[in-house]
Structures are given as structure tokens and as C-alpha cells.
């Protein structure tokens, strides 16, 4: 969100989805489809692996 200065509406437009979807993902920890994940990476101009490289999955 730094790149968009916290503006979820601008970010959602760049991703190509509804602002509500972005709010649910970032504010409510809503899951997302792989398609949306790749769109988010593209909007951030990063490789998808960069978004998950430090992800820890607990059992």
C-alpha cells in the first residue's frame, strides 16, 4: 500500500477489481484467488514470489 500511499481505491483500479475486495483482503484477512494474487503482483510491479517469500505457514 506504500506505493499507492494507502489509497485502496487507486490500488483496486490498478489491480482491476473492486475496492471492497482489496479492503477484505488487507483489513479482514480474506482469502483471494490465484488470479487476483497475480493481478496484485502486477499492479505492484513485482514478481509474485516477492509477495510470499517470507510467508510462514503454521500447522
Owner of C-alpha cell 500447522: 59
pLDDT of residue 4: 80
pLDDT tens per residue, the chain (59 residues)? 677 877 889 999 999 999 999 999 989 889 999 999 999 999 999 999 999 999 888 87
pLDDT of residue 32: 93
Locate the domains of the chain by residue range.
2-52
The CATH topology of domain 2-52 is: 434 Repressor (Amino-terminal Domain) (1.10.260)
Q: Which of 15, 19, 18 is nearest to 51 (CA)?
A: 15
Alpha helices in the chain (DSSP H): 8-15, 19-28, 34-44, 48-52
Looking only at Cα atoms, what is the longest distance across the chain? 35
Amino acid at each position: 500500500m506504500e506505493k499507492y500511499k494507502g489509497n485502496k481505491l487507486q490500488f483496486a483500479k490498478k489491480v482491476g477489481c473492486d475496492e471492497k475486495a482489496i479492503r477484505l483482503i488487507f483489513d479482514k484477512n480474506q482469502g483471494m484467488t490465484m488470479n487476483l494474487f497475480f493481478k496484485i503482483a502486477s499492479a505492484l510491479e513485482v514478481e509474485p514470489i516477492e509477495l510470499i517469500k517470507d510467508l510462514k505457514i503454521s500447522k
